[in-house]
Structure 1
Amino acid sequence: MYHCRLNAEKSIINLALYVSFFPQLIAGPIERARDLLPQFNQLKLRFSQEAIYWITLGFFKKMVVADNLAPFVEKIFNPDIQVGAVDYLWGMYAFAIQVYADFSGYSDIALGVALLLGVRLHQNFRQPYFASSFQEFWRRWHISLSFWLRDYVYFALGGSQSKRTLFTYRNLLLTMLVGGLWHGASWTFVLWGALHGALLITERPWLGATIHYPALRFLKQCWVFHWVALAFVIFRAKSVSQAIEILRQIGEGIGQIVGAFDLETFPKVGCFFAVVLGLLDWGQKKQWFIPTASNNGWRYWLRFGILTGLFWAIMFFGVFRGAQFIYFQF
């Protein structure tokens, strides 16, 4: 409204609904008034295939993937429990998948519930672990927060408009520090934001380079994913000292091709369905079964088969007494 992009809302009911719209209220996506308010004038209950798709996918991510990985992650990051170096390495991967499945699962459920009410929210995650740069990762991870930080912090600081490259680097670093502090007043969040700022700065001179070979693109995706996963260790740790110790143990675990770990607590179900989630993300990236696609042809039946499989996975392998969503604490 300040920039005259939207007329002042005269309906107190619509304004109250915007402030309290429950599907996206607790953990996002962060919706702007210009996108949400106009839709409140056309509210209508709609039972659509797309809504069922997002709700089912969201519950699968949360109950089958995230909640089956949660006990193992809790054990790894418990400072009172000592585990082997290989366990810490597996724990790094497990939490990277857990936090993605947990948070994107909530966002998918919110998107589906809003569609049932006739409101379309923005997709908050777009296969972030397939990103081939850290800039692309932040365009795919918690998209609404990334755009908010870009518009209200990065651009407010000057963005990349300055002719001095160091000013652009300063703006990137400060923006990511604010993003870290947004999660809480802890040094671990500050370090997490600082590391992502440093990664964005380091890659910036080479962002324009084109990768012609799929194998090289895959290697770059692996590079980005592993740095993001390492950063999540700092994010998840209860203190900086614990994060440093876990990272040291991970370094030792990498050097052990075969290591001993506790098979009894190893999240076999969670790991299996994490692979399934990766295949689903890959199929979505290829637009093989996007919910807005035509209902005719093989895409319809593929989508129907996937929804059926996800439903039974939830019924048989879902954790019905799992923990609350991770991002409810932020």
Structure 2
Amino acid sequence: RLKRYRNLMLTMLLGGLWHGAGWTFVVWGGLHGLYLSLNHAWKHLSSRLFPRPILPRPLAAALGWSITFLAVVVGWVFFRAADFDAARLMLEGMAGLNGVALPNALAARLGGLWSVLSGIGVTTYLGGGSQFIFTWLWVLTLLPIALIMPNTQEIMRHAEPGLLLHSPTEANEIRPLRAATAALAWQPRLRWALLIGFIGALGVLSMTRVSEFLYFQF
């Protein structure tokens, strides 16, 4: 078991170096190796410490998803940051250590609510509220898509993909809202042929655009 954790760490550290020759990439890989090791260790220990589930399955899944999401977001800061100082500034901002601020144009329209917000330390910055609102509308629109819509493994569930870890019934117990998207699973039907053909045509037409190879410096 210790060898598994060692191999996970080494693999993810090497994966970090493969993505870029910088210490931030090493930390990014190391964090993901640590996350995977903790996940395997928790699965092993929890099955012994708690033979019976202590939380309902949907609640446990939601808690696990939240912890995973937070951990991965922190890890990707180091992938994106140019150096450790930049990563520190990003993490401080994400944690709210620099305070919370709203565009002054938006604050002016909040009326009495702004008095409450300013009383708990919310400040303003010079700017209009349209970009702020537009950004959060994107978040609120895309978040349900990310949480509810099926991923590629679930779309191909009838083709027995190698990475589908749960049966459709188990997956629906873990994420009940995804049961409503079961009809989106791939089937050898005309509508799927038309959709894939359309996406393929878009891909071919977009090949005329000039784009830089993502890993050209790696």
Letter in 2 for 1:191: V
Structure 1 SS opposite 2:82: coil
Contact 1:180–1:192, Cα closer than 8 Å, also in 2: yes
> Equivalents in 2 of 1:270, 1:289: separation in Å?
31
1:168 pairs with 2:1: no
Structure 1 residue aligned with 2:58: 214
> Equivalents in 2 of 1:277, 1:168: separation in Å?
36
More relative contact order, 1 or 2 (CA 8 Å, 6+ apart): 1
> Equivalents in 2 of 1:274, 1:194: separation in Å?
29
Structure 2 SS opposite 1:284: coil
Structure 2 residue aligned with 1:276: 141
> Equivalents in 1 of 2:91, 2:10: separation in Å?
25
> Equivalents in 2 of 1:325, 1:269: separation in Å?
29
Structure 1 residues 214, 249: closer, same or farther in 2, change over 3 A? same
User: Sequence identity, in percent?
Assistant: 29
Structure 2 residue aligned with 1:249: 93
Letter in 2 for 1:283: M
Contact 2:28–2:75, Cα closer than 8 Å, also in 1: yes
Structure 1 SS opposite 2:91: helix
C-alpha displacement of 1:175: 0.5
C-alpha displacement of 1:191: 0.7
Structure 2 residue aligned with 1:224: 68
C-alpha displacement of 1:268: 4.2
Structure 1 residue aligned with 2:112: none
Selected match of 1:186 from 8, 13, 22 = 22
Letter in 2 for 1:189: F
Contact 2:77–2:87, Cα closer than 8 Å, also in 1: yes
C-alpha displacement of 1:232: 1.0
> Equivalents in 2 of 1:265, 1:190: separation in Å?
38
Structure 1 residues 269, 325: closer, same or farther in 2, change over 3 A? farther
> Equivalents in 2 of 1:268, 1:325: separation in Å?
32
Q: What TM-score does the superposition give when structure 1 sets the normalisation length?
A: 0.36
> Equivalents in 1 of 2:59, 2:185: separation in Å?
29
Selected match of 2:41 from 205, 218, 228 = 205
Contact 1:234–1:243, Cα closer than 8 Å, also in 2: yes
Structure 1 residue aligned with 2:31: 195
C-alpha displacement of 1:200: 1.6
C-alpha displacement of 1:274: 4.0
Letter in 2 for 1:290: L
What are the ranges of 5 or more consecutive residues in structure 1 without an aligned counterpart? 1-164, 308-322
C-alpha displacement of 1:245: 2.7
What are the ranges of 5 or more consecutive residues in structure 2 without an aligned counterpart? 47-52, 101-119, 152-177, 199-209
C-alpha displacement of 1:197: 1.1
> Equivalents in 2 of 1:324, 1:276: separation in Å?
28
> Equivalents in 2 of 1:207, 1:224: separation in Å?
14
C-alpha displacement of 1:276: 3.1
Structure 1 residues 217, 237: closer, same or farther in 2, change over 3 A? same
Contact 1:283–1:289, Cα closer than 8 Å, also in 2: no
Max radius of gyration: which structure? 2
Structure 2 residue aligned with 1:288: 182
Aligned residues: 147
Contact 1:234–1:240, Cα closer than 8 Å, also in 2: yes
Structure 1 residues 288, 273: closer, same or farther in 2, change over 3 A? farther
Structure 2 SS opposite 1:207: helix
> Equivalents in 1 of 2:60, 2:213: separation in Å?
34
C-alpha displacement of 1:198: 1.4
